[in-house]
Structure 1
Amino acid sequence: MRHFLVALEKREQQMIRPQQEMQRSIALQQLTLEIASLAPLQQVLNRICKTVRSLLQTDIGYIALYNEEKQTITVRASSGTSPHLIGVEQRLGQGIGGRVVLTKRPHTFTDYPHEARRDPEVEAAIDYEGIISAIAVPLLLGSDVIGVLYAAMRVQREFTTEEIDFLSSLASLASVAIRNAQLYDQSQRLIRVHQQLSEAALQKEVVESVILTLSSLLSCDVCLLDASGQILHAHFRNTQLDAECISAIVRHAKSSIQTVSGQNSLFIEQSNHKIMCSAIISNQVLVGILATVRTAEETYDAIDRIAIERATTLLALAISTQEIQQMNKFYLRTALLYQLLFRGEQEAILGERAKHLGINLWKPCHLIVSMCMTHALPPSQQEIINRMLRSIQLTLDVARFPLSTVDNTCLVAAIPEQENLMARAEEMHALIEASLPQTKVFTVISEPCNKPSDYRNEFFKCKNALSWHERLGRDEPILWAKSFGLAGLLFDVSNMDAIKAFCVETLRPLTLAEHRHAGNLLETLKAYLENESELRATASCLHIHYNTLRYRLERIEQLLQINLNDPGTRQALRLALLLNDTFQFV
C-alpha cells in the first residue's frame, strides 16, 4: 500500500511539472514582452516581483537596486510585503544581499532568525516581515551588478537547485527589463527637463523663471550669483549659503573658464552640502554663476548635470539678450539727449521718442555738465578722454541718470528735479576725477528744463558759466549755471579783458575814495540807480540823511567826472555795476 501511495505521488508530480513549466514559460514570455515594451521603472519592478512570487510560489518577492556611488543596495519594489520594506538600505558586503553583489553569485538561507550572516541594519525590517527563508540572486548586465532579486518565505523551505537556476534565468531577463525601464525613465526625465526649461525661457522674467523651474525639476535649492559672489536671484527651500560656500563657488567657476573640458558644470562637496556650479559666459566674459545645492546625503546624476548645463545655456542667452536690450536703450537715451542739446528737432518728435523710453520731457529736469579742461591737449589725447567719459557714462545708474551723453570732453546728464541735485553732481564729478586724476574737471548744474527746447538753452548757459568760471580762475569744482547771472549770458568770455577794463575805469575811483572816509560811494551809487534816481527813496534804503545822500552823489560826480542827470551815463553805470557784481573786478 505504501509503495502504491509513493507511486501515486510521483505520478501526480509528473503531471504537475508540465503545468508549472508551462506557467513559467508563459511568464518568461510575458517578461520578454515587458523588456521590449516602454514602461516606467517602478511599473517594471512591481511586475517582476509579482512574477517571482507567482512562479516560485513564495510568500514574498522583492528587488533591491545597487547604487555604485553610495556602495549600497536599496529595496525599490516588493510583492506580498508591507510598505516598511521599501527603502531599506544595505551596505555592500553586509548581509545576504551585500554578499550577492560582491560575489555575483546566488545565496540562500533557510532559517534567518539563526542566520550567522544577519545584518543589524536590515534585520528589523526582515523580522517585521517575518521572513524565514529566501533565495537572493544577482541582477547582472554583462559583468556589472545592478541589483539583487529575492524570493522569500515566511516558513522554512529548502529551495532546489532547479528553483535557484530558474530564478537566475528570470533575473537575467529582469536585468534587461530594468535597464530598459531606467533608460525609459531617463528619456522621460530628459524630455521633461527640456520642455519645462524651454517653457521657462519663453516667460517674461526669464532668469527668475529658469531658476524656479530648475529648482522644481531637481528638487533642490538654486541660486544665481554674479562674478563677485553677490546673489542676484535665488530659490532657497532649506539652505542658506555662507561666505565660505560662496567663495568656493566663485573660485571653482572662475577656474573652469581656464579649463578645457567637455563639461561646464563642476561638483563641489563640502561638509554640509553638495554643490553643482556652472559658469555663465557671455562674449567670453563671466557674467554669472549658476549653483544648485543639496544636502550631504543627496547625490547628482547624469540627468541632473544635463539639466544644469541646459539651464546655464538658457541663462547665458537670457543675460546676453538683456545686455543687448540695455545697450539698445542706452544708445537710444544717449541719442535722445544729444538731439535735445545739439539738433533742435521738433518737440513733438523728441517727445514721442522720449515716451517710448519712459521719459516725460515736459517734466522738469536739470542738466549736470562735467567738463574736462583739455584746451592745451592734442586731439589724440582729447579723444582718449572722450573714451574714458563714455566708459563712465556706461556705469551711470539709469534710475538716477535717465539721460546722458558725451561730447567734446564733456559728460552731460539729465536728472529729474526732485532728485538731490548736488549729491548727483558730486557723484558724477567724483567718478570722473577718479578715472582722470590728472585732468582738471568742473561741474555745473543747470536751471530746470521744462520743455524740450529748454535743454539746448540750459546747456549753452552751463558751458558759458564753465567758461567764465575757468577764465576768472575760480577753484570751486561744482557750481550753478546761474552763478554769473545776466552778465554771464550777455557778454562773451573772450572779451573779458575789455570788460574788466571798462569796469575798473568806471568804478575804481569810487573804491579809492572810500579810503578817504567819503562813505561807501559804490553802494550809494548802486542804491541810487536801483531806486530810479529818487533821492528820498534812496536815502531811506541806505538809512542815511537826505543831505548826506546829496553830498555823496556830488562826490561821485566829481570823482567820475560825470553828470548823473544824463540818461546815457546812468545806463553805463548800471552796466558796470552789473558786471562788477558778477565778476568782482573792483
Structure 2
Amino acid sequence: MTTVDSGRQPGAELLTWLSALRALSSAATSAADLQHVLDQVADTARTLLGFDFCGVLTPDPAGESLVITGWSGLSADYVEHVNTDRPVRLDGGSPSKQAFQSGRPVAIRDIAGEPEFTPWGGVAREQGYRAIVCVPLIAGAEVLGTLNGYYTPVHTFTDYEIERLALLANHAAIALTSARRLDQLRQLNESLREQRDALTRSEQIHERLLAVTLRSGGLSGVAAVLAELIGRPVLIDDARNVVLAIAGDDAALPNATWRAAAVVEPPTSSAPVPVTGPDDDARYCVSIARLGDDATAARIWFPATESELDAMSVRAVEHASMVISLELLRMRTAAEVEHRLRGELLADLLGGGSVISEQVLQRAQRLGHDLTRPHVLIVGALSIAGEPAESRIYQRSLSLVGDLVRPYAPRPLSAMHRGNIVTMWPITEDEPGRAIGSGDAAAALVQRAMGSVARNVDATVTVSADPVDSTPSYAEAYRTAKGALDIALRAGRTNTVVQLADLGVVGLLLQLEDSSQLAAFARRTLGPLLDYDSSHHTDLLDTLRTYFACRNDRNRTASALHIHPNTVTQRLRRVEQLCGVELAEPSTTLQFSAALTVHDVATAG
C-alpha cells in the first residue's frame, strides 16, 4: 500500500492530495458505476492517510442499518459477516451509527475497551484491527453515510488526523452525490431504451446535453441545446432569480419581476409544469433542477404555447435538469476547492513568519495573486437585525465577493478567516480600469458586494490605514482592522465602511505595534474596578460604561440601570476613590471611555 510520506515538503503533499482528489472527481463523473466510486473513495482515504483498512458505510434500502458498500484492504469475509450477520443498526450504539446520526466524527483508540463495540469484536479480531475512526459523509444538509479508517494496533487519533479525514470525506461526499446523479441519469437512459420508437432520439438528447458539459460548454451550452430540442427559447435562473443562461428570443421569456412574483409549487419531479404569474396567466412553464439536498439549484423557464410538449421534448427538459444539476455541482465543487485553497493561503500570510517564503509566493501566483505588490487589508462582517449572520449567508456572500474580484488583475485575495470575510486588495495605479488605487474605493466595493447577498443583511467592513507589503505587516494590519471592526460593531455601526480615523483615539490605540500594550492600557486604567467588581460582586464597570453612554447624566444613568440616582452617585464616588480620579475632569472621561471601549477588543485578531 502506498502512503503519503510525512517528510515531504508541504507543496508535494498538497500536489499529492490534489492529484488524488482530481482522480476521485474524475471517477465520479465518468462512466464508472457507483460501486467503483465507493471503492475508490475507500482506497483514496487509505492511500492518503495511511490506514490499514478503510470502508464506506451507507444506509440499506430500508434505512434501518448501515452496510459496507465500498472498501479497501478489508477482506470479503469481513464485509459479508458485517453486512449479513452483524449489520450496523441505526437504533444501536456503534461508532458508525453515532457519526452518521450526529454528523460529527467518532474515534475509538481501542475497541477492546468499548462495550458497545462487542457485537463486532469477533469479526474485528479476524480482520485484525484495534482502532477505528468514523467521519460522516455530508453533502449539503444530507448525511450520505460514513467513511471509516481502521488501524491494526491501538491508536490515539489526533485532531489533525481527524480533520484531514473529514476534509477528504467532504470531497468524497460531493463525488458520491455526483456519481449517484450520473447513476440516476444512466437509469433514466435505460428506461428510455425500453421505448422502441423513442430509443434513438432519446439517446441523441442525452448525448448532446452531456457532451456540452464534457466540452465545458457550461450552462449557456445546455440552454442552447435544449432550446433547439424543444423549439422554444429557454432561460435558466437560480432560486434568487439570478439569470444563469439564456438561449433564443429573451423577449419571449419571463422577466425578473414576473419570475419573482410567480407562484412555483415545488414539483415532485423535474418534468415541466405551467406556472401562474402575477396576472393569473399561465404563460410559462418551469422545470426544477435539484442537488442532493433536494434544494432548488436552478429553474428552466420557457414559453407555454397552445401545443403542449411531446413526450420526447418533456424528456429533453428532464435530461437538461439532470445535466444542469451535474454542472452546478461541478461548479460548486470547484468553488469550494478554490475557497479552501485561498483560505489556507490567507491563513499562512496572516499567521506566518517574518518572510514570505518562495513556496507561498508560488502558491499565490498559481491562484492569480501577486504578493510583490502592496495590499490593503479589508475585514468584513455580516449581521441580520443586529445579530451575526449564519455561516451559509457568509458562504454566499463570499461567492459574491469572489465574483467581484475575479476580473481584476492582479486578483485580490478573498477568503473566510476566523469567522469574517477578509480581502487583501492590491493597490496600484499603473493599470487603469483593471485595478483600484484607493483602499476606500476597494472597501466600498467589497462592502456593497457582501451586502447584496440579501435585503435584510447588513455588511460592515473595515480597511487598514496604509498599504502593506510583507507578512508581519499583513498580520498587524489584520489585527488592527479586525479590532476596528469589533469596536464599530459594538458601537452599533453597521452597513458601512469604517476607517481607523473614524474611531478617534481608539483608532490610534489599535495601531500600537504591540497588541499587548492595548490590553495593558485597559488593565492599567480599569484594573481597580475589575478587581473590585470581581471580589465584591458589584457592577461599577457597567455603571461607568452606562454613565458615559448617557453623556454623564446621573438621572438618565439611573433610569437606564433601573436604580435610584443616589445609588448611581454612590457607585461613581466609589469609582473615583478606587482609581484616584475625578470623573468631572475631561481628560479622565477620555481616558476611561477609551479604556472601556477597547476592554473587550484589546486582543482583537
For normalisation by structure 2, the TM-score amounts to: 0.41
Which of structures 1 and 2 has the bigger CA Rg? 1
